[in-house]
Structure 1
Amino acid sequence: MSKTSGKTPQRSWAPSPAFVRAVLNGHGALGLAFAAVFYLICLTGTLSVFVDEFRRWENPGAPRMEQVSPDAVQQAFTAALDQAGPGVEHAFIHMPNSSEPMLRITTDAAGKDREWYADADGHLAGEAHQGWTEFLTRLHINLQLPRVWGRVLVGLAGVAMLSLLISGILAHPRVFRDAFHLRLGGSRRLQEADIHNRISVWGLPFHFLISLTGAVLGLSTIIVAALGLAVFQGDTQKVYDLFVVPEPVEDARAAPPLDLRPMFAEVARRSPQGHVGFIRIEHPTERGGGARFDVETAPELLTNVDVYAFDRANRLYYEKPAAKTNLGEQILGALAPLHFGWYGGAIVKIAYGLLGLGLTYLAVGGVYIWLARRRDKGRPAPVWERVWTAIVWGQPAALAMAALGALAAPGMAALPLGLWAGVSLAMLAAATSLAPARLALTGRVATGLTMLASALIHGGLSGVTDPVAAIADLTIGLAGLALAATLFKAFPQGAPKEQPLKAASTGGGNR
């Protein structure tokens, strides 16, 4: 008589091959989606370094000046209030500076913003156009999503970038020793990997700085919420009050427009070497109105702004010189200039632009290296190769089309977003039928032709008088011509030949 254990045998459950494939596809889709977000943030961030230049490009006929008198500012401010109509809650005056030598006045009435440029005598010279500039910066800062959620997502991308930098260094112990070692002309995957690692090392301080400041700026809402919960029993407003200039005492009774001229005089007395860069005006036609002056003092410092706030009676009720700010305030004030390169002038901006292009290349090349490794191991992902190539070259084409739309119809604020989304979806749709080489070529040529059209239309129709706008036209036109010319380089005999997917998958996206 045989003995048994008395236990009922249990059937082990194993996922079916179809289930495993579905999970892997979902995992790949999630990874590719985050890589696309990362790439978009890097690309738009590189362009956002030149936001002042883009604003001048969109307004090439705006009056230029190096300085402006308080009387002219007051006249322009009053004229802008008249144009905006009743109910103006806030007004913002951007004073001329070296990056943007123009006087710009913005009003906020019933949630609607309007903006004008003025000449040196205080006469309004027309409404400002910045549809492309606003679209670009919002796409970078919050991905055109609701502000809080978009900023958090961008902040998480900064955290991910930090993690990738640290893990990449730890995973490649020879990366510093081989900083100038490139294996060119052999295996395409090894060549791309070497270029990827070299750019990572050469730009490591910049990459670390950008990812850290981006993470802090993007996650500031969560940081404030955590501080409010830990220190002020959940009252986040008390956290903001530590850093934000208090508003004047509220009094909604009607009053004449605020007179800024006595405030200018007091600011000049307190900061004789300073330069008024920005003025924020609260409730300009109410008795509870007031104005905050940001005065730039020491140009060699990142946190160089003295803040003075006045009420309607010209009483200085708040003062914070830059020299008296604490370490936390200095760090907060330096985050945005450090992240975007808005310090040090044109040389720093150009350096940020080149390093930003390198970081964008890392975002692109990392995915291509992963796809090449899969292919070398006998597990190719042709669908993801086509999708990634469509994303890589679809975004430059979509951004170029958004800029052209903003230039052609400056009054249609939603047009750049619509064009960007339409071109992005069209490139993804093309990935269902075109191989990576064709997708890359289509994206390059579309980007180049659109940029070339933008430069020619802008330079021919706008009557460019601003030298920065002229330089922008030249740069955009030459870059567009170079991209469009790849059509002739790809098909020198005039008869396009489809390349095999295996050979073309890494080449088209990284050029």
Structure 2
Amino acid sequence: MDKSTKQSALHAHAWVGVFLSALLFLVCFSGTLAVFHQEFERWEQPGIPEMNTTDAATVEKAMNAFVEKHPEPTDHLFAVFPTSGIPRLVVENDTVAYFADSNGNLLETEQVPFTKMLVDLHLYLNLPHSWGMILVSALGALICTLIVTGIVAHKRISKDAFKLRRGENAQQYQIDLHNRFGLWAAPFHLIIGVTGTYFGMAGLILVVVAQLYHDGDRDAVVEKIFTPDPVLEQEVAQPQLQKAIAQMNTLAPQHPLLFLTVHEANTPQQFIEIYTQVPGKMIYSENYRFDTAGNYLGTAGYAQGHWGKQLVYAMYRLHFGNFAGIPGKVLYFVLGIMLTALCVTGMEIWLAKKAHPPVLTRAWYSVAWGSVSALALTALFGLFADVSLIMLFWVLMLVNLVLSSAFSQSSKSLWLIIAGSSVLLLVSVYTLYHGAAGFTPAALQLNLPLLAFAAWSVRKGTKTGSRQTPGGVPLVNQS
């Protein structure tokens, strides 16, 4: 490509990234953490008994106990199996959920406010869902734009593909790191951008396709992608979950059970749908359907459906890395950190070129590193206070921004130390609060990495602080 094209791509890349840097960072950072949303759910209630398997009789007993405790009308009933990725048995309706033990006895209610806040931050930026989904999806499209313009603007892709200069010029090292992360992980980042865009734009796509091919009939489009519900007329009765689950040993013996749903609960159209993971397929699940009496009706047909249907049904797993167990999640976490680092290094490169405007530089550090302390303190308050964690998080972010603007000493090193100290405080109080449960695998699987981050952050902040001016603005060679 000619020089003017590369220059135009570079300008587009820079200005899109700068103007939306804070939103892009929050979406990427929260999404990286949300890869472990199931682990965060376990972490929030570490004392729940865990199991690897359960049987049909236990599930039905737990559901019967739940319905007896909550007889209020509901559209759906759910049972989440221990093979779903969280080694716990959960029964719930549309509003409340309970854990159950290996004998089918109900335990405490499911309370995961921090996990819900974190996932909501990634999916909607904590905005009303209809608007938040559109905004986040637009940011997904902009991520794709940044990837393409970044590659186009790169002057020597093949020559510099593995160049990472770590000499005295730290700014050059940061530019190299930004370019290497952007190039090496571009396929993954495109997948994240495209799938993220899809979630918000699916409604618009639905309307367009309906107008073009089905005279505006949206239901006709939905039925081509998602298998319609079976048409049933039965006596209203208690769903025979045990009979339905027992048949899965014959119907799909190699498919781990994810969860089951009782649709149209307590109506003549009621039916049972069991969701199973399909080995060797990227689709979220294949769904097995049964009537109220537990008689097998057939599958939803996703595993053997048209490739386009399978692709749509694979979007969730592609976006969140929900495959290959913990190794897949670790891979997505590392690649997500690279995407988040692109947001951070891109903004810091721009700030360096503008000679680090003091107020803007401090404000950026309060967003990039202050968000860590805001999340840690939000989780900490969530242990004790029944408050809106969404509101609390944004209040803390606002306080960070005000403090960084008001005090000239609020440097990058200070925010790093605050981030590490906040995480250390969270883990310490968490362990004291939960007692022996704080040393279960459900707790340690996150607390140990959090402690490692706290140690790194404090060490990095201390080291960085020695290379900053008294006003908190980095020196020329500051990394």
TM-score normalised by L of structure 1: 0.83
Q: Which amino acid aligns with 1:471?
A: Q
* Deviates most, 355-364 or 97-106: 97-106
Match of 2:418 in 1: 446
Match of 2:470 in 1: 499
Match of residue 277, structure 1, among 248, 258, 262: 258
2:331 aligns to what SS in structure 1?
helix
1:74 partnered with 2:60? yes
- Mark the runs of 5 or more structure 2 residues left unpaired by the alignment: 1-13
Match of 1:213 in 2: 195
Checking the alignment, whether the CA contact within 8 Å between 1:65 and 1:102 is kept in structure 2 is yes
How far residue 171 of structure 1 moved from its aligned partner, in angstroms, is: 0.9
Checking the alignment, whether the CA contact within 8 Å between 1:55 and 1:133 is kept in structure 2 is yes
- Mapped to 1, the partners of 2:161 and 2:464 lie a distance apart of 32
Match of residue 59, structure 1, among 23, 45, 48: 45
Identity of aligned residues (%): 28
- Mark the runs of 5 or more structure 1 residues left unpaired by the alignment: 1-27
1:470 partnered with 2:450? no
Describe the superposition over 1:95-143 as per-residue Cα deviations: whole angstroms up to 9, x where unpaired.
11273111112212xxxx1111111111112111211111111110111
Match of 1:50 in 2: 36
Checking the alignment, whether the CA contact within 8 Å between 1:63 and 1:125 is kept in structure 2 is no
Checking the alignment, whether the CA contact within 8 Å between 2:284 and 2:314 is kept in structure 1 is no
How far residue 52 of structure 1 moved from its aligned partner, in angstroms, is: 1.3
Match of residue 420, structure 1, among 370, 393, 403: 393
- Mapped to 1, the partners of 2:326 and 2:309 lie a distance apart of 26
1:127 partnered with 2:109? yes
- Mapped to 2, the partners of 1:209 and 1:97 lie a distance apart of 27
Map 1:31-42 → 2, pairs under 5 A: 32=18, 34-42=20-28
Checking the alignment, whether the CA contact within 8 Å between 1:257 and 1:284 is kept in structure 2 is no
1:401 partnered with 2:401? no
RMSD: 2.7
- Mapped to 2, the partners of 1:31 and 1:168 lie a distance apart of 10
Q: Which amino acid aligns with 1:133?
A: T
1:85 aligns to what SS in structure 2?
coil
How far residue 33 of structure 1 moved from its aligned partner, in angstroms, is: 5.1
Match of 2:294 in 1: 314
Q: Which amino acid aligns with 1:441?
A: S
- Mapped to 1, the partners of 2:291 and 2:18 lie a distance apart of 53
1:332 partnered with 2:306? no
How far residue 222 of structure 1 moved from its aligned partner, in angstroms, is: 1.8
- Closer/same/farther in 2, CA of residues 230 and 307 from structure 1, 3 Å limit: same
- Mapped to 1, the partners of 2:274 and 2:136 lie a distance apart of 30
- Mapped to 2, the partners of 1:505 and 1:238 lie a distance apart of 61
Q: Which amino acid aligns with 2:241?
A: L
* Deviates most, 284-293 or 325-334: 284-293
Checking the alignment, whether the CA contact within 8 Å between 2:30 and 2:121 is kept in structure 1 is yes
Which structure is richer in relative contact order (CA contacts within 8 A, separation 6 or more)?
Answer: 2
Match of residue 276, structure 2, among 291, 295, 318: 295
Checking the alignment, whether the CA contact within 8 Å between 1:305 and 1:321 is kept in structure 2 is no
Checking the alignment, whether the CA contact within 8 Å between 2:412 and 2:464 is kept in structure 1 is no
Checking the alignment, whether the CA contact within 8 Å between 2:16 and 2:146 is kept in structure 1 is no
- Mapped to 2, the partners of 1:348 and 1:73 lie a distance apart of 29
1:362 aligns to what SS in structure 2?
helix
Q: Which amino acid aligns with 1:62?
A: I
Q: Which amino acid aligns with 2:33?
A: L
TM-score normalised by L of structure 2: 0.88
- Closer/same/farther in 2, CA of residues 33 and 81 from structure 1, 3 Å limit: farther
- Mapped to 1, the partners of 2:34 and 2:468 lie a distance apart of 38
